[in-house]
Amino acid sequence: MRFRQRAPLGILLVLVSCLSVGSANAIGQSTQIDDAQSKLVQAFVLVRQADLEGASPGQISLLANNLNLALGYEDNATLLFSKDINASNFYASKSVSLSNATSAQALSLTSAARTQTFLNQVAAYSIAVAAGFGSALFVLEFDRLDNLVRRMRLRRTRLN
Amino acid sequence: MLLLFGSFSLVYSSVAYYSLSRPPSQEFIAWGVFSPSGTLSKYFSGASANVARGQTQNWHFAITNQMGSIQYVQVVYRLANRTSADPNATVPGSTVSQLGNRSIFIPNAQTGFVNFTWSINSTSPSPGGMVFITMTINGRQVSPSVGAIGGQGFRFFFELWTFDIASNSFQYGYKGQSSRVGVPLQVWFNSV
């Protein structure tokens, strides 16, 4: 009795699993290509972060070239998927490794850009405080300076 | 002394803050579909927009990114006819199915180029006078579900989509100040 009750459930499970495998094939995309796509997006997110942190346009341009190259590999992998699975996997793995390398470069750029921004801020505000001190001193000691200039002028006149 | 020092420091710090801040700017993406001669016209060799079977069209998109940071851009193309609903500033032309797409990463303040090479492979007239075509676009064969009466009045819809990190997917248009901004393009042609 128990077997009879469970048999339809078992058949249903087998059918669902078969359908899910069938639909994965119908979509026509391997896990390698999925991986290449997710790594590419991950690399883009990190490059964008480096860009927003203030990395130089030249450095971002180089990373963008890498991203476009990785995207080209991923396109090739997708195009070759139904024709030559080995070639497709080859291009997908090339895309993954280039995306990973780009991500690492982007992370290092982000860190360098953050440090540079911090140093720029420290330098700018230090100069502002030093200029504030210098200006305050100048205003307070203006009379003494004025006297000094007058004395120097007088000495020159006497010499002449 | 301290009051003067504080006042001057405040003024100079304000100057420093202003010089370190990014200037405000209007963010946008501009794009166009260009003919082989590099113009926004003369897409076809003749005066009319007639395209014969096997005749290859070499167009390209030029996309300029002024969004303030690198963008992951996708160009989506669809084939429509005279009666299809147009894409607009807020809605894509989803009433007709997508024929394909091309993506590109474009750094800020730079222009990216995407090739769009296409030709008509075959035409098949139906009894009602509707003509259906098969095409090759960027090396891929496609069979659009849309036909046109007598092969006249086909339209390419070109849509710009940008990758949205929050939703982890491409979204129609680009992110404007308050909402997303769609900038669709279209080119008419006749199949002869």
How far is it, in rounded angstroms, from Cα B155 to Cα B78?
Answer: 8
Which residues of chain B have a Cβ shorter than 8 Å from any chain A Cβ? 1, 4-13, 15-16, 19-20, 69-70, 72, 103-110, 139-140, 163, 165, 168
With a cut of 50, say whether residue A12 has pLDDT above it.
no
β-pairing, B185-191 with B50-51?
parallel
Contact in structure between B110 and B65 (CB atoms under 8 Å):
yes
With a cut of 80, say whether residue A10 has pLDDT above it.
no
Write b or e for each residue in A108-123: b if 16 or more Cβ atoms lie within 10 A of its Cβ, otherwise e: ebbebbeeeeeeeeee
Please, which pLDDT band fits residue A2 given cuts at 50, 70 and 90?
Answer: low
**Nearest residue in chain B measured CA to CA from A128:** B12
Write b or e for each residue in A50-83: b if 16 or more Cβ atoms lie within 10 A of its Cβ, otherwise e: bbebebeeebbebbbebbebbbebbbbbbebbee
Q: Is residue B4 part of a domain?
A: no
CA contacts within 13 A on the Cβ side of B65: 24
Side chain identity, residue A40: L
Contact in structure between A100 and A43 (CB atoms under 8 Å):
yes
Domain ranges of chain A: 3-117
Q: What string of pLDDT tens digits covers the 192 residues of chain B?
A: 888 889 988 999 998 888 888 777 889 999 999 999 899 988 998 778 999 999 999 999 999 999 999 999 999 999 999 999 999 999 999 999 899 999 999 999 999 999 999 999 999 999 889 999 999 999 999 999 999 999 999 999 999 999 999 999 999 999 998 899 999 999 999 998
Q: Which tokens belong to A72?
A: 């080209």
- Tell me the H-state helices in B23-169: none
Contact in structure between A135 and A127 (CB atoms under 8 Å):
no
Judging contacts by C-beta atoms under 8 Å, the chain B residues touching residue A63 are 70
Instruction: Tell if the CB–CB gap between B105 and A71 is shorter than 8 Å.
Output: yes
Q: Is residue B9 part of a domain?
A: no
Judging contacts by C-beta atoms under 8 Å, the chain B residues touching residue A140 are 1, 4
Q: Tell whether A119 lies on the interface with B, counting CB pairs under 8 A.
A: no
Q: What is the mean pLDDT of chain A?
A: 85
How far is it, in rounded angstroms, from Cα A85 to Cα A87?
Answer: 6
Query: Quick one: average pLDDT of A14-24?
Result: 43
Instruction: Tell if the CB–CB gap between A129 and B9 is shorter than 8 Å.
Output: yes
How far is it, in rounded angstroms, from Cα A75 to Cα A81?
Answer: 10
**Nearest residue in chain B measured CA to CA from A124:** B16
Predicted confidence at residue A157, as pLDDT, reads 84
Instruction: Tell if the CB–CB gap between A44 and B163 is shorter than 8 Å.
Output: yes
Query: Quick one: average pLDDT of A75-90?
Result: 93
Residues in chain B: 192
Instruction: Tell if the CB–CB gap between B69 and A48 is shorter than 8 Å.
Output: yes
Which comes out higher in pLDDT, residue B97 or A110? A110
Report the predicted TM-score, pTM, of the whole model to 2 decimal places. Answer: 0.82
- A18: closest CA of chain B, how far (Å): 28
Question: What does the angle CA B39 – CA B45 – CA B49 come to, to the nearest 5 degrees?
Answer: 90
Predicted confidence at residue A5, as pLDDT, reads 58
With a cut of 50, say whether residue A22 has pLDDT above it.
no
Instruction: Tell if the CB–CB gap between A125 and B5 is shorter than 8 Å.
Output: no
β-pairing, B185-191 with B169-172?
unpaired
Side chain identity, residue B26: Q
Predicted confidence at residue B149, as pLDDT, reads 95
Predicted confidence at residue A17, as pLDDT, reads 45
Judging contacts by C-beta atoms under 8 Å, the chain A residues touching residue B110 are 61, 64
- B24: closest CA of chain A, how far (Å): 14
Predicted confidence at residue B100, as pLDDT, reads 95
Predicted confidence at residue A25, as pLDDT, reads 42
- Number of separate domains in chain B: 1
Q: By three-state DSSP, how is residue B180 classified?
A: strand
Q: Is residue B50 part of a domain?
A: yes
Topology (CATH level 3) of domain A3-117: Butyryl-CoA Dehydrogenase, subunit A; domain 3 (1.20.140)
The complex scores an ipTM of 0.88
Question: Which of A45, A48, A110, A139 is the best mutation test for B, with the most CBs of B within 10 A?
Answer: A48
Q: Is residue B19 part of a domain?
A: no
**Which residues constitute the domain of residue B178?**
26-191
Contact in structure between B115 and B57 (CB atoms under 8 Å):
no
Please, which pLDDT band fits residue A19 given cuts at 50, 70 and 90?
Answer: very low
